[in-house]
Amino acid sequence: MIAASNDPLAILIRKLSGADGLSDAEQEAIRSLPVTIRTVAARQDIVQEGGPSSSCCIILDGWTCCYQMLDGGRRPILAIHVPGDLPDLQSLHLPSPDFGMTALTQATLAFVPLAELRKPPRCRPRPFP
């Protein structure tokens, strides 16, 4: 079982709360989302640049990075992500990611389906940001 501080849906609630906060009903809607937890090895790709994206990733343990492929095969790092980060939340609004993501260390990740995040819950008239 995941510790409370590493609860992926608690992390998601905290990140989506923003300045306005979320109502109790909105928080409960998030707590009901399906989550898949997976451990990946260091140097394993998690998101393919330009590929399809079906879920949002929450870093629970380990480090990941986002990069873009350049001509000649170089991959400059755009961002480094640590536990508690949601490195690909923008996938909610993009048809496909304009970056790749790989694990820098062994990492434990939680995946929430984007289709579920895009659905407006009954308690909220609009999808989560």
The pLDDT profile of the chain, 129 residues, written as one tens digit per residue, is 344 457 999 998 888 887 678 888 888 888 999 999 999 999 999 988 878 888 989 999 999 999 998 888 888 999 999 999 999 887 777 777 888 899 999 999 999 998 888 876 654 555 555
* Contact by Cβ (8 Å): 37, 11: no
pTM: 0.82
Q: Which CATH class is domain 4-118?
A: mainly beta
* Contact by Cβ (8 Å): 103, 62: yes
